[in-house]
Amino acid sequence: AKEIKTLIGASVTAVDGGVRQVEEAGTVMQEIVSGVQRVRDIIGEITVAADSQSSGIGAVNGSVQEIDRMTQQNAAL
């Protein structure tokens, strides 16, 4: 009976340790999910900024082409 009590105590200790590890793993997983969501949000912001810059570059390119066209017309006069 004493051996059984010792085995049960060891099992309870092992289970308690396992419970703590599972809880810690759950906390770490929540932190990972939160980090992934932050990365996703940042990537979205980068995408918006890149699209905006692309539009701006397109506008500058169009202006430069117009200046080039006007310069060529003036040179032809």
In whole angstroms, how far apart are CA 43 and each of 11, 16, 23?
Answer: 47, 41, 30
**pLDDT band at residue 76, thresholds of 50, 70 and 90?**
confident
* Chain position carrying tokens 């995408």: 47
Does residue 1 have a pLDDT over 90? no
SS3 (DSSP) at 30: helix
CB neighbourhood size of 38 (10 A):
10
Spatial distance between the Cα atoms of 13 and 20, rounded to a whole number of angstroms = 11
Strand runs labelled E in the chain: none
pLDDT tens-digit series, residues 37-68 = 999 999 999 999 999 999 999 999 999 999 99
pLDDT, average across residues 66-73: 96
